[in-house]
Amino acid sequence: MTMNTNGNIYTIVYSAIIVILVAAILAFASSALKPMQDANIKAETISQMLDAAGIQEKGTAASNEEILDKYAENIEAAFAIDTNGVVTGTLSIARDNIELIDGLKAQNKNIKDKKDAKLPVYKFKNGTTVIPIYGGGLWGPVWGYVAFNSDLKTIAGAYFDHESETPGLGAKIKDDPAFRALFKGKVADFTAKPAFAIVKGAKGDHEVDAITGATMTSKGLSGAIGTWFKAYAPFFNKNVEE
């Protein structure tokens, strides 16, 4: 049997079958691989927090299991707060059931809309308190983790990441250790607005220098820090006084 492979009906039916088939394969692959991908993303998130808290060196390659072990060893408490600084819930820190608040994008929207945000606070045994930040860079989202010393003012370390900032320019927020080192020892002033900023020609303790050639990324990151620090300010101010 020979079919006319150039007829209109044949062409349409053929295309439809191919597309449906391909869609089915992709949907299956996506759902089959999702648990492993999520585990990778979770381990990476934890790894970024450990970097910020100064518990591990950046670039030390570790397996997911090692990262989870390290987190379980070093974490003291993890809980969620709202934008009034009230603790609204605890996050499990058990080795086999580590709870994180991911979906920072949704929380970022909650903060901006002044809705009930669920903000995570991670306290580590080395005295640091780690909070996330999230915002828009030049091409896509930028986010990161900032660790504070036990005085809840002095920055102990920071880790930033991005989705698609320009390599060699905006991407330096992640790739350039010198930029992240700028944050160490700086002080966030949670009574001021903004509490902390990235500016050109930084002066004093509450500012760091922006990255040359990456003005938009620097501004975006600065805005992310400003927004999130403001959301955490009630919590920090409360706990500093005590």
Partner 1 sequence: MDAKIKETLLNPIFKGNPITVLVLGICSSLAVTVELKGALVMAVSVIIVTGLSNLILSILRNTIPNRVRIIVQLVVVALLVILVDQILKAFAYPVEKQLSVYIGLIITNCIVMGRIEAFALGNKPFASLLDGLANGAGYGLILVIVAFFRELLGSGTLLGMRIIPESFYEAGYMNNGLVILPPMALILIGCIIWVQRSIQKDLQEK
The CA distance from 56 to 48, in Å, is 9
Which position among 16, 27, 36, 86 is part of the footprint of partner 1 (CB under 8 A)?
36
Report the run of H or E that residue 240 belongs to, with start and end.
Answer: helix 215-241
By C-beta, is 185 or 213 nearer to partner 1?
213
Query: Does residue 27 interact with partner 1 by CB under 8 A?
Result: no
Nearer to partner 1, 33 or 240 (CB): 33
Which residues have a Cβ under 8 Å from the Cβ of 100 and sit 6 or more positions away? 42, 45, 46, 78, 91, 120
CA distance 105 to 118: 12
C-alpha neighbours within 13 Å on the C-beta side of residue 74: 23
Q: Choose between 13 and 181: whose C-beta lies nearer to partner 1.
A: 13
User: Near partner 1 by CB under 8 A, which window of 15-23, 114-122, 206-214, 215-223?
Assistant: 15-23
Contacts to partner 1 from residues 127-166, by CB under 8 A: 164
**Sole binder of partner 1 in the list 16, 18, 181, 240 (CB under 8 A):** 18
Angle between helices 215-241 and 104-112 (to 10 degrees): 80
Please enumerate in sequence order all residues whose Cβ is within 8 A of that of 122, keeping only pairs 6 or more positions apart, or say none.
49, 53, 75, 77, 78, 129, 130, 131
Site for partner 1 in 48-77 (CB under 8 A): 61
Q: Compare residues 2 and 97 and give the one whose CB is closer to partner 1.
A: 2
Q: Which of 1, 16, 27, 30 binds partner 1 (CB under 8 A)?
A: 30
DSSP state of 127: S
> CB 93 → partner 1: shortest distance, Å?
23
Q: Does 16 bind partner 1 (CB under 8 A)?
A: no
Q: Considering the complex, what minimum distance in angstroms separates the CB of residue 91 from partner 1?
A: 23
- 20 contributes a contact to partner 1 by CB under 8 A: no
- The set of residues, in sequence order, having a beta carbon less than 8 Å from that of 172 and lying 6+ positions away, is 179, 211, 214
Q: How far apart are CA 161 and CA 78, in angstroms?
A: 22
40 near partner 1, judged by CB under 8 A:
yes
217 near 225, Cβ under 8 Å?
no
Residues binding partner 1: number (CB under 8 A): 21
Please report, as ranges, the residues that interact with partner 1 according to CB under 8 A. Answer: 5-6, 10-11, 14-15, 18-19, 22, 25-26, 29-30, 33, 36-37, 40-41, 44, 61, 164
